[in-house]
Amino acid sequence: AGEGSGPGPGDGAGPPAPERVLFPPTFSVSEIKNKQRRHFMFLRWKQQQRKEKLALKKKRKKEREALGDKAPPKAVPKTIENQRVYDETTVDPNDEEVAFDEATDEFAPYFNRQTVPKILITTSDRPRGRTVRFCEQLATVIPNSHVFYRRGLALKRIIPQCIARDFTDLIVINEDRKIPNGLVLSHLPDGPTAHFRMSSVRLRKEIKRKGKEPTEHVPEVILNNFTTRLGHSIGRMFAALFPHDPQFIGRQVATFHNQRDYIFFRFHRYIFKSEKKVGIQELGPRFTLKLRSLQKGTFDSKFGEYEWIHKRREMDTSRRKFHL
């Protein structure tokens, strides 16, 4: 039994009970001139929509149960990851060409265990307190790393000195308005340079339910979701920051998780409660990175050879297209 409750004058301040109300199909909320009344009608319309949706769901569930085994399989919801535009450069794990490239690129010495990573962390000029603290925490997370202040020195002059002192990687944290917002990661003996935009930096004290300080043990590294060729090379860059043999006694793990071109960095301590359950506790800073450019040689913004730059107009056209 439905009452047509249109914008009639009969409905005064007291609305009738919602169950009895049905909106006639020609009714449109936007035609009411009075704002309060319109708002009220809109809310009621929304409630009704929700009820209908719930009823539909219940009906479907009943049908499914009635059919039992013969029910059609549940529909998989579409996610952005499902709908991702297929990238031609996706790495196939058995690809020989990729394997050959990786055996001969700049990270081969690291992966062959010929070099031990030694990292130099620095900032842009005149870092403010937050950046300084972030650098210190980053230095505790990455083993064998040193923080140096940049007192106005040019990067092009620092790099030969670093190479002379056997550093393998250089990290420059760019600062703007007292917060770190960019990261330049350069593999030193002539390696690629990646420039990232850094966001949501949380220092250790800002993380809730955090554990104690990270110890000196070498952490494990988890690299998730680096699928394309570009992603693969970036993943290798990150892996090259950490020494090759993690100390499992320390039970620390550093994670670089790529999701929709955003790389999330987290640092955890884990404990295996059983073979099917593991507990993790977050220590250490966290931040997210988004790749802006990848350059072939060491840092040279004017004359360097860029392997990949993020070009907004060409690359941001589709919401389902990702490059990493």
227 is a contact residue toward other proteins (CB under 8 A):
no
79 is a contact residue toward other proteins (CB under 8 A):
yes
Question: What is the rounded radius of gyration, in angstroms, for the C-alpha atoms of the chain?
Answer: 28
From the list 12-20, 35-43, 104-112, 266-274, the region that binds other proteins by CB under 8 A is: 266-274
Candidate residues 6, 189, 211, 304; the one interacting with other proteins per rule CB under 8 A: 211
Query: Hey, which residues does 180 pair with through a beta bridge?
Result: 175
111 is a contact residue toward other proteins (CB under 8 A):
no
Alpha helix locations (H) across the chain?
35-67, 96-104, 108-111, 129-141, 155-164, 229-239, 312-315
Site for other proteins in 294-313 (CB under 8 A): 312
Closest CB to other proteins among residues 120, 324? 324
| CA 153 – CA 127 distance, rounded (Å) | 13
Asked if 254 contacts 283 with a C-beta cutoff of 8 angstroms, the reply is no
Dihedral of CA atoms 248, 250, 256, 259 in degrees, nearest 10, equals: 90
Candidate residues 274, 303, 311, 317; the one interacting with other proteins per rule CB under 8 A: 274
203 is a contact residue toward other proteins (CB under 8 A):
no
Pairing of strands 3-4, 21-22: parallel
Candidate residues 4, 272, 306, 318; the one interacting with other proteins per rule CB under 8 A: 272
* Nearest C-alpha neighbor of 207 from the set 121, 285, 311, 269: 285
- Phi/psi of residue 48, each to 5°? -65, -40
Closest separation between CB of residue 118 and other proteins, Å? 25
Candidate residues 35, 78, 277, 311; the one interacting with other proteins per rule CB under 8 A: 277
From the list 50-58, 66-74, 92-100, 203-211, the region that binds other proteins by CB under 8 A is: 203-211
From the list 63-71, 108-116, 127-135, 219-227, the region that binds other proteins by CB under 8 A is: 219-227
Asked if 324 contacts 308 with a C-beta cutoff of 8 angstroms, the reply is no
List of residues contacting other proteins (CB under 8 A): 79-81, 154-155, 197, 199-200, 209-212, 220, 222, 224, 248-249, 251, 253, 255, 257, 259-262, 264, 266, 268, 270-281, 288, 290, 312
